[in-house]
Amino acid sequence: MNSIALLFIGGSLCYIASAFISNYVPFQNSSYYYITGLSISLIANSIWLTIAKSTENAHTRYLYGLYWDSMIVIAFAFIPVLLWNSRLSFNVIIGVFFILLGIFITKV
């Protein structure tokens, strides 16, 4: 497995953790909520900057950006569904579809 794939795995784990703490009410009430969220975001952004700097081809960078942005949307849309049995309403599904469509249009 190459280093880009490992960076994507690390980034997805960061955003899964961020989606978890954003929806976990007992952690939201703790004093560590903001510093943990900021730390995870800093790590995830550093991972993305590493991916972008290591990619010389602009088309490949756009493709990686498409994967990265889609990963963020999917993590924040489906972690509550998977962990807390939240229900996706029709409006949420349409919203996620349009977000992913907009990301696809702007990246490709």
The model's pTM is: 0.79
The percent of the chain in helix, strand and coil, each rounded to the nearest 5, is 85, 0, 15
Residues 29-64: tens digit of each pLDDT = 888 889 999 999 999 999 999 999 998 888 888 889
CA dihedral 94, 96, 101, 104 (to 10 degrees): -170
Report how many domains make up the chain.
Answer: 1
Question: Which residues 6+ apart lie within 8 Å of 14 measured at CB?
Answer: 40, 41, 43, 44, 47
For residue 26, give its domain range. 3-107
Q: What value does the mean pLDDT of the chain take?
A: 87
16 backbone dihedrals φ, ψ, rounded to 5°:
-65, -45
Locate 90 and state its tokens.
């029709």
